[in-house]
């Protein structure tokens, strides 16, 4: 039973979402403020955090940053569409995905399931469990990535993105393809998800600015993984 931490300040929305998610079989902890959310993170140990960006007091963005400082739990932002800047900043702060309010329960539920699937290993034996690409070691079953022996803490989207790209070194993936395979979004989803995630991934892998070694931009098409 997935455990969902819901941080939402509006009482009606909080109760509605909590009710809907509980009926879908989730174990839900609903809190009103970012401070409460951070406090419950330790005790509740959620599988996924659903975070409203517009919070009184500590903003959703700040909450997102603080969670990411210590934890790679999947984070799903709830935003109002058009708050474009917030979406970008939220994604760059480490959110894995976002939904636009008002959102129907089944859409939210589908996104939660998709995020959760990202943290499940995918080895069917046809690919080696551990791959080495230059200084980078990717463990597909253990879902860990190390760079020169140092483990890199990756959020679920970053990890899944790296796994998808590195499974076919040299192959170019369009943003739409990545949206479908990593985020399970529709073809016409928000490609900024991909761009923001690539940016975070490069930062965590310590890529030099402007000259990425592993995840490279193919102008006009998308991204590819280059094995060193």
Partner 1 sequence: MKAPPLLRGLRIRLVVAFALVAAVSALTTGALTYREARTGVLQQSQDTVVKQFRDHVNTLALTVRFPLDQESLDTFAGDVARAGRSQSWRVLAAFGPLRSTSTPGDSFRDLTPRMREAVHKRPATVFQRVVRGGHSSLVVGLPVTFAAARDGRVRASGLEVFLIVPQTNEQAYADALVTAVERATVPALVLAVLLALLAARGVLRPVRELRRAARDMARGNLDTRLRVNGSDELADLSRTFNETAAALAESMAELRRMEARARRFAADVSHELRTPLAAMSAVTDVLDEDAAGLDGDTATAVRLISEETVKLARLVDDLMEISRFDAGAASLHLDEVDLGESVRRTLSSRAWQDSVETELPEVPLRGRLDPRRLDVVVANLVGNALRHGARPVRLRLTAEESADGERWAVLEVSDSGSGIPADVLPHVFERFFKADNARVRTEGSGLGLAITAENVHLHGGTVRVANRPGGGAVFTVGLPLWAHRSEEASS
Half-sphere exposure of 228 (CA within 13 A, CB side): 11
In whole angstroms, how close is the CB of 17 to partner 1 at the nearest point? 5
Q: Is 25 in the site for partner 1 (CB under 8 A)?
A: no
The residue within the footprint of partner 1, chosen from 174, 204, 207, 224 (CB under 8 A), is: 174
Q: Is 20 in the site for partner 1 (CB under 8 A)?
A: yes
For partner 1, the closer of residues 101 and 139 by Cβ is 101
Residue 6, phi-psi category: left (phi > 0), alpha (psi -120 to 50), beta (remainder): beta
**Helical ranges in the chain per DSSP H:** 11-23, 34-44, 60-70, 84-92, 105-117, 156-167, 175-178, 192-204
For partner 1, the closer of residues 99 and 163 by Cβ is 99
Q: Is 221 in the site for partner 1 (CB under 8 A)?
A: yes
Q: Restricting to residues 91-130, name those near partner 1 by CB under 8 A.
A: 100-106, 108
Nearest residue to 67 (alpha-carbon basis) of 79, 81, 77: 77
β-bridge partners, 30: 6
Q: Total binding residues for partner 1 by CB under 8 A?
A: 38
In whole angstroms, how close is the CB of 102 to partner 1 at the nearest point? 4
Instruction: Find the part of the chain contacting partner 1 (CB under 8 A) among 118-126, 128-136, 154-162, 184-192.
Output: 184-192
Half-sphere exposure of 28 (CA within 13 A, CB side): 22
In whole angstroms, how close is the CB of 106 to partner 1 at the nearest point? 5
201/155 Cα distance (integer angstroms): 9
- Asked if residue 36 lies in contact with residue 55, where contact means CB atoms within 8 angstroms, the answer is no
* DSSP 3-state of 145: strand
Q: Is 172 in the site for partner 1 (CB under 8 A)?
A: no
> Residue numbers of the site for partner 1 (CB under 8 A)?
10, 12-13, 15-17, 19-20, 23, 80-82, 84, 100-106, 108, 174-176, 186-192, 195, 199, 210, 217, 219-221
């Amino acid at each position: 039973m997935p455990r969902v931490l819901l941080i939402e300040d509006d009482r009606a929305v909080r109760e509605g979402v909590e009710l809907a998610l509980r009926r879908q079989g989730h174990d839900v902890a609903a809190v009103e403020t970012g401070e409460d959310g951070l406090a419950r993170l330790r005790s509740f140990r959620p599988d996924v955090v659903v975070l409203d960006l517009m919070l009184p007091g500590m903003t959703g963005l700040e909450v997102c940053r603080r969670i990411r400082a210590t934890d790679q739990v999947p984070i799903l932002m709830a935003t109002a569409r058009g708050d474009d800047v917030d979406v970008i900043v939220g994604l760059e702060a480490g959110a894995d995905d976002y939904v636009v309010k008002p959102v129907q329960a089944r859409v939210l539920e589908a996104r939660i399931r998709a995020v959760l699937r990202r943290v499940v290993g995918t080895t069917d034996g046809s690919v080696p469990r551990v791959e080495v690409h230059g200084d980078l070691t990717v463990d597909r079953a253990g879902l860990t990535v190390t760079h020169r022996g140092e483990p890199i803490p990756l959020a679920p989207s970053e990890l899944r993105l790296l796994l998808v790209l590195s499974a076919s070194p040299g192959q170019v993936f369009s943003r739409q393809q990545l949206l479908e395979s990593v985020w399970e979004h529709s073809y016409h989803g928000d490609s900024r998800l991909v761009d923001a995630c690539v940016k975070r991934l490069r930062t965590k892998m310590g890529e030099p600015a402007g000259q990425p070694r592993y995840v490279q931009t193919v102008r006009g098409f998308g991204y590819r993984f280059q094995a060193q």
